[in-house]
Amino acid sequence: MGVTRVASNSPLSKRLAGPPLYILSLAVALEMIFWAFDIQQQFMEVWVVVLMVPIALALAKPAEDANGKRANKKMVDEGGRPRDPRKKVLQTAPGQERPESTQSPAAVQRTAQKAKIDSAVKEGKIEEAEAVLSELVEASNADAVSYNILISACAKNGTSDRAHHWMQEMLKKNVQPDVASFNSVIDSCARTGDISGAFKWLVHMQGMNMSPNTITYNALINTCARHGDTERAKKLMGKMQEEGVNADVITYSAMINTCARNRDVAGAEEWLSKMICSGVEANVVSYSTVISACAKQGDKCSAEKWLQKMLDAGIQADSICYNSVIDACAKAYDADGADMWMQKMLDSGVQATTITYNALINACAKAQDVARAEKWLSTMLGSGIMADVVSYSTVINACAKVGNSVGAEQWLTTMLENGVQANVQSYSAVVSAFAKTGDAKGSEKWLVKMLESGIRGDTISYTSMINACSRQVMWKRLKSG
C-alpha cells in the first residue's frame, strides 16, 4: 500500500497519467491483435511508431509544479546574487576585463589635452603645444606622458633650452619621470653638442634608480661623436657592455662616426668589423661612413675593399658609396679603377649624379687621359645630368695641360652656351692653352672676354698672357733671324 502511494506520486507516474496511459494501453491491445491474427510484421511496426510518438512527446514535456505552473529558471549574477532577468548582461570578449568604473573628469580632460599636444607637435606648433601643457600643469593634471611628448618635440626641433625647461618643470611639480623622459632630454643635448648637459642628466637619471637603456647610450655616444671625443665614446661602449645593454646598429654607427670625425680610419674600420662579428647587421650608413673615411685619406684599396664587402653582404650601395670610391681612385690617379666602379654603379641601377661624373672626370684628368675625360663629360650631358662649372673646368684644364687649345676653347664655348657661369679658372685654363701654343691672339681674345664678363683676372691668366706674347715675339725673331 505504501509502495503504491510512492509510485503514484513519482514523476514518471505523473507524466504517464491521462492520455499517455490510454495510448499505451491501446498499443498493447493492438500488439495482441496483430499477433493473434498473424498480421505482417511491417504493419505492426508502423502502428507501434504512430502510437509511441505522442507518448515520447508527453514524456519530454517539462514538469509542472503543484499549481500547474512551469518552474522558472533562477537567474543569478557572477557573485551568485539574484539578478533581474529583464536587465541585459554586458557581454565581454574572452580575456577582456570589464571596466570597473568610468574615467574621472580629470582623467578625461588629461586624455583630451594630451591629444591636443600631440596634434600640435605633429603640425610643428610647439608654442601651441606648450600652452596646452601649461593648462594641464596649472590644473595639476599633467602626467609623465604629457611632458614627454613636448620634451621630445623640443629636442627634435633643436630647442634644447625648452626641453630642459619642461624637464625641470616636471621635476618641480613632483611628476615622476620615466626612462623616456631622460632619453628625450639627453637627446636634446646630443643634437646641440652639449656633452656636459647630457652627462648631467645621466647622473640625475641614475640617482632616481633608473638604468640607461640602448637609446640612452646611443644619444650619449652621438654627443661624443659631435665633439670627436673618441675616448669617452669608447668608455660608454664598455660601460654599456658591462651592464648587459645590447648595442644596435645605431650604437655601432655612432662609434664609427666618432672615429671618422676624428680621422681615425683604423678605428672606424675596427668598429665596423666588431659590428659584423657581433651579429648586428650593418646598413648602408655604416659602410658608407667607413668607405668615405678611407677615401678622404686616399686609401683606395681599403675603400674598394669595404664597398666590395658591402655588395657581397647583399646591401645595395648608394651613390655616396660609389662616389667615395671613384674619388679615391682619382686621388690615386687610377682612371681605369674609376671607370670600372662607374660601370658597376650603372649596371646595378644606381643613378649617377653630378658629383659622380665630376669625380670620374677628375680621375681621367689626373691620369692625363683627356679623351676619356671628354667622353664621360659627353656621356653626362647625353644622360641629361646637369654639368656644373667643376665638370667643364676639369675637362678644360685637362685639355690645357696637354696644349689642346682647340678642345679647351670648344668646351668653354659649350659651357657658356649651356648657361653655366664660367669662373676665373675656366677662362685662365683656355688662356693658358693658347699661350702654350704661342697663340697670343687666342690668349688675348679669351682674356678680354673674361674681363668683359666682369671676372677679374688672376696671376695665372695674366702670366699666361705674358708668356703667350713672349713666345710670339721669340717665334717672330726666330723666323726673321
Do 338 and 329 touch, CB atoms closer than 8 A?
A: yes
- Average pLDDT, stretch 289-310? 96
Q: pLDDT tens for residues 61-87? A: 555 444 444 445 555 554 455 555 555
Give a three-class secondary structure readout of the chain.
Answer: CHHHHHHHCCHHHHHHCCHHHHHHHHHHHHHHHHHHCCCCHHHHHHHHHHHHHHHHHHHHCCCECCCCCECCCCCECCCCCECCCCCCCCCCCCCCCCCCCCCCHHHHHHHHHHHHHHHHHHCCCHHHHHHHHHHHHHCCCCCHHHHHHHHHHHHHCCCHHHHHHHHHHHHHCCCCCCHHHHHHHHHHHHHHCCHHHHHHHHHHHHHCCCCCCHHHHHHHHHHHHHHCCHHHHHHHHHHHHHCCCCCCHHHHHHHHHHHHHCCCHHHHHHHHHHHHHCCCCCCHHHHHHHHHHHHHCCCHHHHHHHHHHHHHCCCCCCHHHHHHHHHHHHHCCCHHHHHHHHHHHHHCCCCCCHHHHHHHHHHHHHCCCHHHHHHHHHHHHHCCCCCCHHHHHHHHHHHHHCCCHHHHHHHHHHHHHCCCCCCHHHHHHHHHHHHHCCCHHHHHHHHHHHHHCCCCCCHHHHHHHHHHHHHHHHHHHHHHC
pLDDT of 57 > 80? The answer is: no
pLDDT of 14 > 70? The answer is: no
Q: pLDDT tens for residues 156-176? A: 988 899 999 999 999 999 999
User: What span, in angstroms and rounded, lies between the C-alpha atoms of 382 and 292?
Assistant: 28
**How far does Cα 172 stand from its chain's mean position?**
35
Do 385 and 376 touch, CB atoms closer than 8 A?
A: no
The domain ranges of the chain are 16-54, 106-181, 390-481
- Would you state the cell numbers that stand for residue 372, as one nine-digit string? 676619356
CATH 1.25.40 fits 106-181, yes or no: yes
What pLDDT score does 459 carry?
Answer: 78
pTM greater than the 0.95 cutoff = no
Cβ contacts of residue 385 below 8 Å, gap of 6+? 352, 353, 354, 357
Choose between 459 and 153: higher pLDDT: 153
Q: pLDDT tens for residues 104-125? A: 888 888 899 989 999 999 999 9
Mean pLDDT of the chain: 83
**Sorting pLDDT into bands at 50, 70 and 90, what band is 190?**
confident
Do 295 and 327 touch, CB atoms closer than 8 A?
A: yes
Stretch among 28-32, 56-60, 158-162 having the lowest mean pLDDT: 56-60
Cβ contacts of residue 284 below 8 Å, gap of 6+? 310, 315, 316, 317, 318, 321
pLDDT of 26 > 70? The answer is: no
pLDDT of 4 > 70? The answer is: no
